Amino acid sequence: MRLSRRGLLRAGLAGTAATALGGLATGCAVPTGSTGRNMVLWYWSGGLSPKVVQNAKARYDDSMNLQAIQIGGYYRSKLMTTMTGRAHIPDIAGLKGEDMASYLPNSDQFVDLRTLGAARYRDKYLPWKWDQGIAPDGSMVGFPIDCGPVAHYYQPAVFEKAGLPHEPADVSAELDTWEKFFAAGEQLKKRLPGTFILTDALSVFGISVNQSTRRYVDEDRHFIGDQEHVRTAWDRAVEATRRGLVSKIVNGTPDNISATERGLLPSQLNASWAAGDIKLNTPRTKGKWRVAQCPGGPSNIGGSFLSITKACREPERAFELITWMLDAENQAQGFVDSVLFPSTPASYGMSELREPDAFFGGQITMDVFGPAARKIPVAFNSPYDIALGTPISDELRNFSVLGKDPDKAWKDAMSSCRRIADHVGVSY
């Protein structure tokens, strides 16, 4: 008994010592970034073409050991935690477009790509996309991966039955303004009761804000969400709801899928990558869709970047790798594999991208997305846009879903914004 207890104690002790020493030892030796020939790349599922990653691994095999890791879950949060922890930081990190505003103020965490000669590549990429990767201090943080030009997806058979234009060229030409789009929605609803041109009002608001060159907070940390461009977007969404053009269906529910299949929601305003979602969620609608230009002009949703972190020991090699992975040819591959819409206009003419798409009735969708991608307005993305944009879209939802009075909703949104602006140090 005594012996076994002592033995137990000893074992416990040894275990503790081993843990403590081990912890201590690794604690001293935790590498900030990777070591040796390793080149660690963080991205998320669908963020890069698997084939391009594989080819890059083979191509640079003699100079580096590329470890491309797909990070699941809340990507930004994991990357930021790792950077703050200053241990095991990836050499190359993917940055999602919607998160850029929160990385750019901390550009000192990344290698300024200008120092590696990024300027040489500038004219090969969409100018607005290139500028989105540049921090307010002028340093270049993100190298463009893809973008998400917004288009009008619609079901021509339903449009035809409602007496609306139904050829892509006609829809682009005749439904080019919001006013004409809403009028078409009214006609659609009148001719085919129970059919709605919009699933929810928020998309009109979001796209309208993206069509402007300004958002919620400007470069001088001043709140501009109370100005004309946001108010116009708000009024437009309110008008669509009031005219009865918006369905009551919740996105992502079986209701939504079923209504889409039955042609009750024959229209969607969404980014290029949404084509993948439509194909995945409603495979039975194959051949029933076409793509046209979005009413009110081009805009963008999403699209990401690659960056080189300060922990990278060989930035030159990393830069060589990313410029190769994101050249026009590989971006075309990315579109074919993962619907990553290229930020390199040279890709748009390549034969892989000009394949007729059977899901869209044999339409060459690039004819719509390509021109849209070139004309996207550049807006300043502030790190405070999320905090100050949320109350406005929350209140818009209170109006459109819960039936709150829109004037009251706008006033409440503005008073929340005033409180939040004051709290985060944005002038109102």
Q: Could you list the residues that contact other proteins (CB under 8 A)? A: 8-10, 12-13, 15-17, 19-20, 74, 76-77, 80-81, 83-84, 102-103, 105-106, 109, 202-203, 206, 248-255, 258-259, 383, 386-387, 389-390, 393-394, 397-398, 401-402, 419, 423-425
Shortest distance in whole angstroms from residue 99 CB to other proteins: 9
Q: CA torsion sign, 257 to 262 to 268 to 271? A: positive
Burial (0-12, 13-18, 19+ Cβ within 10 Å), 64: buried
Shortest gap between Cβ of 152 and other proteins (angstroms)?
17
Q: Which is nearer to other proteins, 10 or 231 (CB)?
A: 10
Q: Which is nearer to other proteins, 116 or 209 (CB)?
A: 209
Q: Which of 12, 415, 419, 377 is nearest to 208 (CA)?
A: 377
We find the least distance from the C-beta atom of residue 102 to other proteins, in angstroms, to be 5
Q: How far is the CB of 59 from other proteins (least distance, A)?
A: 32
Shortest Å distance, C-beta 126 to other proteins: 24
Count CB-CB contacts under 10 A for residue 312.
Answer: 24
- Closest to other proteins by CB, 76 or 317: 76
**Cα 254 from Cα 251, distance rounded (Å):** 9
* Closer residue to other proteins (CB): 236 or 290: 236
CB 253 within 8 A of CB 265: no
Crossing angle (nearest 10°) for helices 202-210 and 385-400: 140
**For other proteins, which is the closer residue by CB, 99 or 327?**
99
Which of 3, 11, 82, 67 minimizes the C-alpha distance to 36?
67
Nearest residue to 152 via CA among 173, 138, 137, 134: 173
In sequence order, which residues have a C-beta less than 8 Å from that of residue 29 and are 6 or more positions away?
Answer: none
Residue number with CB closer to other proteins (200 or 327): 200
C-beta closer to other proteins: residue 90 or 165: 90
- Rounded to a whole number of angstroms, the minimum distance from the CB of residue 249 to other proteins is 7
Amino acid letter for position 21? L
Which lies closer to other proteins via its Cβ, residue 253 or residue 427? 253
Look up residue 221 and give its DSSP letter.
Answer: S
DSSP 8-state symbol, 357: B
Of 27, 134, 150, nearest to 85 (Cα)?
27
> Cβ of residue 206: shortest distance to other proteins, in angstroms?
7
Task: Identify any residues that bridge with 152 across adjacent strands, giving them in sequence order.
Answer: 269, 292
> Shortest gap between Cβ of 111 and other proteins (angstroms)?
15
Q: How far is the CB of 370 from other proteins (least distance, A)?
A: 25
Q: Which is nearer to other proteins, 187 or 393 (CB)?
A: 393
Nearest to other proteins of 83, 198 (CB atom):
83
**Smallest separation, CB 368 to other proteins (Å):** 22
157-183 burial, b at 16+ Cβ within 10 Å, e below that, comes to: bbbebbebbbebeebbebbbebeebbb
Q: Please give the angle made by the CA atoms of 376, 272 and 279, to the nearest 5 degrees.
A: 170
Cα–Cα distance measured from residue 361 to residue 234, given in angstroms and rounded to the nearest whole number: 35
Which of 302, 301, 308 has its CA nearest to residue 139? Answer: 308
Nearer to other proteins, 168 or 303 (CB): 303
Smallest distance from other proteins to CB 366, Å: 26
CB 226 within 8 A of CB 214: no
Helices (H), 192-327: 202-210, 228-242, 254-261, 274-281, 315-325
